[in-house]
Structure 1
């Protein structure tokens, strides 16, 4: 049985991920933006716990990290929360996963939600400070973060996952990928030991793919971490 945190778990892929983990008997702590996002009467009974905070706001990201600390060291953290539109995209999609990773005890497994759209993201990190980053940029950067952390801490693996373009509220009704398959890779990476590679993978439906070259470039990885440290005032350690 694993202790797993899933961010952005009130709906869509995050909720499907959390429910699948709970159904398998794991202890699941969910993150929601506000208590109003708990929409089903069985929510509080199903979960090990709930942490609350708006990941578009730095002080609330810190608050989420503090709440999560009360549950001890997680076996896995799934950084699922995401938004499509600027100006919050870079904060929710990249900054929040970075700050939570930096502030929380290092789990056994880190899993970050990417997107096929990361391949058209920009390596211009000036957009981070300027607040002009696009969704594509934010997904390139969080993919880069995931791969930068793949061998940073002993005992902690790190992966990026493209769940596909699925018909959630964010993906829209015209999305062409299978919603039921959208969360399976995250659940598998969080709970199974027969994963190859055991760290540093970019995954789509339980198969590795080749991500944007910049995400695997050690120099760009280091520049991104420095930029995030400067932007947030939070050192990665």
Structure 2
């Protein structure tokens, strides 16, 4: 049995992954943006523990990190939360800054899972103006770069990224034509596997997949980390 924390787990793929992992006998701690969303999930999962924090607010992310640490140790942390539309600043804050801060501030688990997207391929990347130029596709390239960087910098933590595909969730919409179960199966597999040698990879439907080669550029990775440290005032621990 593993102890797992999943951001953005009150609906969509995060909630589906949580339910599946719970059914397999794992201890899963969920995350909600606010108390109302936590109350709604308690109707479905009355015995679940839910931590609360708005990922668009830096102080709330820092408070969430403290809550996670108070419930540590975790075997796996899944950085699932994300938005597909909104201002560049909001997308950047939720999709990139929040997972960066939680990675930096939370006690290291055995496994880290980041949710990217196939839409990251060929996206724009302006490392000097991240707060004003980051759209959804760019945010998912940055998440993949973060995942690759952490796999390199923290070799004792199994760190991977996943493309869940275009699946029919609230975010994906009704026209999405990918397999919903496959959309969260990769998270479930990586969260519960005991194979620590699986690290630094990018998966689609639980299989290694092609990705933008910029993600492997260690110079670009470091520039991204430097910019995130500068923007947040928080450095990654060595």
Give 5+ residue unaligned stretches, structure 2.
Answer: none
**1:99 pairs with one of 93, 98, 101:** 101
* Deviation at residue 122 of structure 1 after TM alignment: 1.7
* Deviation at residue 155 of structure 1 after TM alignment: 2.3
Where 2:175 maps in the other structure, the secondary structure is coil
**2:160·2:201 contact (CA, 8 Å) conserved in 1?**
yes
Where 2:96 maps in the other structure, the secondary structure is helix
Where 2:54 maps in the other structure, the secondary structure is coil
Q: How does 1:10-159 map onto structure 2 within 5 Å?
A: 10-38=10-38, 39-40=40-41, 41-45=43-47, 47=48, 49-87=49-87, 88-129=90-131, 131-159=132-160
* Deviation at residue 182 of structure 1 after TM alignment: 0.6
Q: Could you tell me the TM-score, scaled by structure 2's length?
A: 0.94
State the alpha-carbon separation in 2 of the partners of residues 127 and 186 from structure 1.
Answer: 31
Q: From the two aligned structures, give the one with the greater helix fraction.
A: 2
State the alpha-carbon separation in 2 of the partners of residues 67 and 194 from structure 1.
Answer: 28
The residue aligned with 1:215 is 215
Where 1:61 maps in the other structure, the secondary structure is helix
State the alpha-carbon separation in 1 of the partners of residues 219 and 95 from structure 2.
Answer: 21
**1:151·1:157 contact (CA, 8 Å) conserved in 2?**
no
Q: Could you tell me the TM-score, scaled by structure 1's length?
A: 0.95
State the alpha-carbon separation in 2 of the partners of residues 117 and 19 from structure 1.
Answer: 27
Superposition CA RMSD, Å: 1.3
Runs (4 or more) in structure 1 with deviation over 6 Å come to: none
State the alpha-carbon separation in 1 of the partners of residues 122 and 215 from structure 2.
Answer: 12
State the alpha-carbon separation in 1 of the partners of residues 21 and 129 from structure 2.
Answer: 36
Where 1:110 maps in the other structure, the secondary structure is strand
The residue aligned with 1:165 is 166
